[in-house]
Structure 1
Amino acid sequence: MALTNRSATVRGYGTAAGTGTLATLILVGVCGSPWYVDWAEGNTDPNSAGGWFLRLLAWPAWRLESTDPEQSLLATDARAVLLLVLAVTFLYLLPASQVARVQGSLSQFFSGWAAYVLAGGAATLLAALLTSGGTLLADFETTGTGATYGFFAGWIIGLASLGGRA
């Protein structure tokens, strides 16, 4: 009887990768929006920990229209698009079936967090290599910003992945 109750309970949860994906879409969609970016820049103190974190959440900024006629929208939004694609990919590629066997395990949290850190760093590097005309050293240096973003915002994705099933 305990086994049938458990399977009925587990059916009510989404997959660990699915809930992480939904959290990624919400995080990038809301915090990367032009409205949030403008609010964070105008209403937070960059010299305080809270202000720094709120500004960091705006890192994968995307725009509805390009103000620079030389850049296309795809070039401007490459970081956000690559972050979404890579985060979803890494959430599904990481050992989700192994991690999600024990519902609510701490390994689900770390798997979601790690996927987002890796996605943040890789998205920054790829966007810099594809869209910038700068040096390779400058592209490598900007990758640190994406990894920092993934590290400090990835716990949100880790929490969303917590409790999902395989």
Structure 2
Amino acid sequence: MAVTRTRRRSATGVGTLVAFLLVLVFGSPIFVDWVNHNTRPDTAGGLFLRTLAWPAWSFNSDMPVRDLLAQDLKAILFIVFVAVFLTMLAGAELSRARGTLADLFSGWGAVIFAAALAGFLTAFLSVHAGLYTALVWALGGAAYGLITGWIIALAQMGTRRP
């Protein structure tokens, strides 16, 4: 008799993969340029699409090198921090608050905090480094986490916990 094992991905792995895909697609230079040229920031759709483009990354830019480095590092740190926060919050999900609603909110919260922290830390690398800039970048990250966090949370809900 052959024993087969079903493979299921961990919540951290799935959440990190979805975060990577969101950054890869919506942070790409093609999408960011399209959003900046075809939407207005004073409409709901424009605000939504511009928020999706928050973790923008680029290899070729007219920006100063410090800003380019800060922008690219922000996208990388967001993915790393999503993995860290999902791992840390997986232990909390194993405690008393079990269930799909607890999974959804802890995953969503992990994304909000990961994006805000990535924005806050990388703002100090930019040309206009300072506390005000760091707070603005953290607020942008928190908005990004609020808009996209539910996608990552839903993706990691049906997975096994460590």
TM-score interval, normalised by the smaller of the two chains: 0.7 to 0.9
In structure 2, the CA distance between the partners of 1:103 and 1:142, relative to structure 1 (3 Å rule), is closer
In structure 2, the CA distance between the partners of 1:121 and 1:69, relative to structure 1 (3 Å rule), is closer
Give 1:111 deviation, angstroms.
1.6
* TM-score normalised to structure 1 length: 0.81
1:165 aligns with 2:160: yes
Partner of 1:99: 93
Cα RMSD (Å)? 2.5
Deviates more, 1:62-71 or 1:143-152: 62-71
CA distance in 2, matches of 1:46, 1:123: 23
In structure 2, the CA distance between the partners of 1:160 and 1:103, relative to structure 1 (3 Å rule), is farther
Percentage of pairs with the same residue: 43
**Does the aligned pair in 1 maintain the 2:64–2:127 contact within 8 Å?**
no
Q: State the one-letter code of the partner of 2:45.
A: G
CA distance in 2, matches of 1:48, 1:76: 25
Q: State the one-letter code of the partner of 2:27.
A: G
> How many residues are paired up?
156
1:50 aligns with 2:45: yes
CA distance in 2, matches of 1:129, 1:69: 14
Give 1:122 deviation, angstroms.
0.3
**Does the aligned pair in 2 maintain the 1:100–1:165 contact within 8 Å?**
no
Q: State the one-letter code of the partner of 1:27.
A: L
- Show structure 1 runs of 5+ residues with no match: 1-7
Choose the corresponding residue for 2:54, options 39, 56, 59: 59
- Show structure 2 runs of 5+ residues with no match: none
In structure 2, the CA distance between the partners of 1:91 and 1:132, relative to structure 1 (3 Å rule), is farther
Deviations 1:90-147 (A, max 9, x none): 11121x1452699972222112111100011100110012334433233223321111
Partner of 1:114: 109
**Does the aligned pair in 2 maintain the 1:34–1:63 contact within 8 Å?**
yes
Partner of 1:79: 74
In structure 2, the CA distance between the partners of 1:91 and 1:68, relative to structure 1 (3 Å rule), is same
Deviations 1:45-98 (A, max 9, x none): 43322221111100100002233364475333121111111111111121x145
Choose the corresponding residue for 2:144, options 138, 149, 158: 149
CA distance in 2, matches of 1:72, 1:47: 25
Classify the secondary structure of the residue corresponding to 2:56.
Answer: coil
**Does the aligned pair in 1 maintain the 2:124–2:130 contact within 8 Å?**
no
* TM-score normalised to structure 2 length: 0.83
